[in-house]
Amino acid sequence: MRRKTLEQLENELLQIEQNRESYESILRQYQNQYTRLLQRRKHEQRRLRTRRLIERGAITENFIENAPELDNEQFKDIVAGAFNVSNPDEEINEVVTADVAG
């Protein structure tokens, strides 16, 4: 078995170090890509939720006379009355808690 010279070992180490740096660079690129995709997904989820809330709010306003003139508390009371809910804040908290747990 032939032994490698010091120069050969150093060249081999240099090559391995260059490969390692290249793989680390590739890994960083994938990590950045993953982070960007997570951010895009979160942004898209927020956009869809905002759109849904606006659309549903508009639909609800169509059924309430003088809705634009009402403050939020009056509006909430009318909607709660339509659904026979005595304590709307408690009902909303129960729905949100069930949705998060569920």
What is this structure's pTM?
A: 0.60
Q: Measured between alpha carbons, how far is 85 from 79 in angstroms, rounded to an integer?
A: 9
49 and 73: one domain? no
Check residue 95 and give its pLDDT: 61
Domain match, 41 and 91 both: no
Range of the domain at 38: 1-62
- Do 24 and 7 fall into the same domain? yes
17-76 pLDDT, tens digit per residue, is 999 999 999 999 999 999 999 999 999 999 999 999 999 999 999 989 899 999 999 988
Number of domains in the chain: 2
Instruction: Note whether 51 and 1 are same-domain residues.
Output: yes
Give the tokens for residue 4.
């490698």
Residues 5, 27: one domain?
yes
pLDDT in tens, 67-102: 999 999 998 888 888 888 776 666 666 666 766 665
Q: In terms of domains, do 51 and 71 share one?
A: no
Same-domain pairing of 36 and 74: no
**HSE, side-chain direction, 13 A CA sphere, residue 76:** 10
Task: Give the amino acid at 72.
Answer: N
Say yes or no: 55 and 6 in one domain: yes
pLDDT value of residue 28? 97
CB 75 within 8 A of CB 64: yes
Q: At what angle do helices 88-101 and 72-82 cross, to 10 degrees?
A: 80
Cβ pair 60, 79 in contact under 8 A? yes
